[in-house]
């Protein structure tokens, strides 16, 4: 026997001659050997009618043995991919129920010829579908059988899919909790239309939602249900009624190792704001003391609608709002008031009594005095008499204008206050030690309070209230 690479490089005529010399007459026995498998696969890929006819004729009587053999199954798969429709019908006629079931459950390679039949679909496969449908419960509960049933289900049309799941529907909830059958249930839901899948769920999962949610395998099925047909109101209502609006069930499912994932998937499919508010109100009390509360609350936070921003700090806005700074007003001077469009001066004092600056000195902008509020609007305390000359008034205003000189504390005196103090205060506060005894820091707080009390008791207004 030659290697696989050498056989692939050989011409078709040489392969046919090698087949006739080595395999013809005992194809079934040669197909179950490693070398015979390689030679038969290379000869079948030539698609010569004499090779295909001889192989089909010799394999059909012994299909039971070849189909489940570790090497023969590869030859059978190559034959299915290369033979014609008439030859495919001959092979299907030799596939009895036991042969089909053994092909589905023997190994991961024996189910490949059956999958190749449904991929080509050159002939009617209703006989094979009937065998699979009658034994769907048995196949779904086995490791290789559930995979075979899933691959066939994916390749069938709607009528054949309905026939395959007919036996599974009455025990769909129980199969969902099986370690192998749950994959078939997931496949049936994923590869059916939304309406059909919703009918399966509502009709056969009702009353079992809590038990399925707390099961390792069935919880995966419920997550697939929510992903595929969770937008159907009837399906969502079934989940809400049995898991959320039932306080005892909700407390159990949110604390379960698998049930909390079902709750998270349910939150993800709730789109109605009112419905989401009801779900959130029910979930919050149940999450107290729950070890999975952080995950569920994070899911609710991501699902919760964000209200529009109504104000706040500028950094909260996506685009910063720049507010221009208002310019501070310039100080009022006498020259400003004599202009025709002078700004209005708020106050009871007439405009003619506004402060002035000497005409020979330049005006200083108000920004230079922003740190001192008393320099912003310098007011004049000297009344302007009607008969006073203009030059004398200018001199008085110039004396009151702010300058860079520093005056002692006794420079500013208020005669009326001195008269009141001399008339009503009992006496001056004596200074110990005379005037040359050093700095005086004033009376103590207690003495200051007593002095204030005496001043308040001895104070009388200088005017007559009665008149």
Examine the pLDDT at 227 and tell me if it is beyond 50.
yes
Report CA torsion sign: 259, 260, 265, 271: positive
Confidence of residue 95 (pLDDT cuts 50, 70, 90): very high
Q: What is the pLDDT of residues 137-188, one digit of tens each?
A: 999 999 999 999 999 999 999 999 999 999 999 999 999 999 999 999 999 9
Distance CA 225, CA 236 (A): 10
> Is 176 among the domain residues?
no
In-domain check, residue 265: yes
Q: How many domains does the chain have?
A: 2
Rounded to an integer, what distance in angstroms lies between the CA atom of residue 65 and that of residue 168? 30
- Higher pLDDT: 68 or 335? It is 68
Residue 45 resides in a domain: yes
Q: Which ranges of 351-414 would DSSP assign to H, the alpha helix?
A: 390-400
Mean pLDDT of 188-201: 96
For residue 242, which of 201, 290, 200, 195 has the smallest C-alpha distance?
201
Query: Do 128 and 95 form a contact (C-beta atoms < 8 A)?
Result: yes
Q: Is residue 209 part of a domain?
A: yes
Say what the pLDDT of residue 44 is.
Answer: 92
Last residue of a domain, one of 92, 111, 136: 92
Give the tokens for residue 203: 């009709």
Q: Is residue 211 domain-resident? A: yes
Q: Which tops the pLDDT comparison, 59 or 428?
A: 59
User: Is residue 175 one of the residues assigned to a domain?
Assistant: no
How far apart are alpha carbons 212 and 224 in whole angstroms? 13
Could you tell me the residue range of the domain that residue 44 belongs to? 1-92
Q: Which residue has the higher pLDDT, 374 or 236?
A: 236
- Look-up: residue for tokens 């600056």? 357
Give the pLDDT mean for 269-273.
Answer: 90
State mean pLDDT over 4-23.
82
163 belongs to a structural domain: no
Contacts of 271 by beta carbon, 8 Å cutoff, 6+ apart? 231
Categorize the per-residue pLDDT at 411 as very low, low, confident or very high, splitting at 50, 70 and 90: low
Mean pLDDT over each residue of the chain, to the nearest integer: 79
Instruction: Give the pLDDT confidence score for residue 11 in this predicted structure.
Output: 80
Task: Give a yes or no: residue 421 inside a domain.
Answer: no
Domain boundary pick from 40, 62, 92: 92
Dihedral (CA of 70, 71, 72, 77) sign: positive
CA-based Rg of the chain, rounded to a whole angstrom?
Answer: 51
Please enumerate in sequence order all residues whose Cβ is within 8 A of that of 375, keeping only pairs 6 or more positions apart, or say none: 369, 402
Confidence of residue 416 (pLDDT cuts 50, 70, 90): low
What region does 286 belong to: left with phi over 0, alpha with psi -120 to 50, or beta?
Answer: alpha
Domain stop point among 246, 269, 304: 304
CA angle 419, 421, 422 (to 5 degrees): 65
pLDDT at 246 over 80: yes
DSSP 429: P
- Measured between alpha carbons, how far is 337 from 351 in angstroms, rounded to an integer? 7
């Amino acid at each position: 026997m030659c290697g696989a690479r050498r056989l692939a490089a050989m011409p078709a005529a040489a392969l046919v001659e090698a087949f006739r010399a080595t395999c013809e007459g005992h194809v079934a026995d040669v197909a179950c050997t490693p070398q015979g498998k390689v030679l038969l696969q290379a000869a079948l890929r030539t698609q010569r009618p004499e090779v295909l006819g001889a192989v089909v004729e010799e394999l059909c009587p012994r299909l039971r043995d070849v189909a489940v053999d570790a090497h023969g199954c590869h030859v059978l798969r190559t034959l299915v991919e290369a033979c014609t429709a008439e030859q495919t019908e001959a092979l299907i006629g030799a596939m009895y129920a036991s042969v089909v079931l053994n092909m589905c459950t023997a190994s991961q390679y024996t189910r490949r010829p059956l999958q190749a039949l449904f991929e080509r679909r050159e002939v009617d496969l209703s006989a094979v579908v009937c065998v699979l449908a009658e034994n769907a419960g048995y196949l779904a509960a086995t490791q290789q059988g559930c995979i075979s049933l899933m691959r066939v289900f994916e390749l069938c049309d709607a009528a054949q899919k309905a026939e395959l799941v007919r036996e599974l529907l009455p025990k769909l909830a129980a199969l969902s909790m099986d370690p192998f059958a749950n994959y078939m249930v997931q496949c049936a839901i994923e590869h059916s239309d939304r309406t059909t899948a919703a009918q399966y769920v509502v009709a056969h999962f009702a009353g079992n939602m809590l038990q399925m949610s707390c099961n390792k395998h069935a919880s995966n099925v419920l997550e697939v249900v929510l992903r595929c047909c969770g937008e159907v109101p009837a399906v969502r209502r079934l989940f809400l009624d049995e898991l959320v609006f039932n306080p005892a069930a909700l407390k159990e499912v949110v604390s379960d190792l698998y049930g909390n994932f079902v709750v998270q998937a349910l939150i993800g499919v709730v789109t109605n704001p009112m419905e989401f508010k009801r779900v959130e109100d029910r979930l919050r009390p149940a999450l107290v003391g729950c070890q999975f509360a952080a995950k569920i609350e994070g899911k609710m936070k991501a699902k919760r609608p964000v209200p529009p921003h109504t104000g706040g700090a500028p950094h909260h806005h996506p685009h910063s709002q720049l507010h221009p700074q208002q310019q501070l007003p310039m100080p009022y001077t006498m020259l400003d008031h004599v202009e025709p469009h002078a700004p209005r001066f708020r106050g009871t004092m007439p405009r003619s009594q506004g402060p002035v600056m000497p005409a020979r000195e330049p005006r200083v902008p108000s920004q230079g005095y922003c740190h001192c509020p008393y320099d912003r609007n310098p007011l004049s305390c000297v009344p302007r008499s009607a008969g006073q000359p203009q030059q004398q008034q200018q001199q008085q205003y110039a004396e009151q204008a702010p300058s860079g000189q520093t005056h002692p504390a006794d420079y500013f005196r208020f005669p009326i206050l001195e008269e009141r103090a001399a008339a009503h205060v009992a006496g001056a506060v004596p200074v110990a030690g005379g005037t040359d005894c050093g700095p005086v820091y004033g009376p103590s707080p207690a003495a200051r309070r007593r002095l204030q009390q005496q001043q308040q008791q001895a104070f009388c207004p200088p005017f007559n209230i009665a008149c």
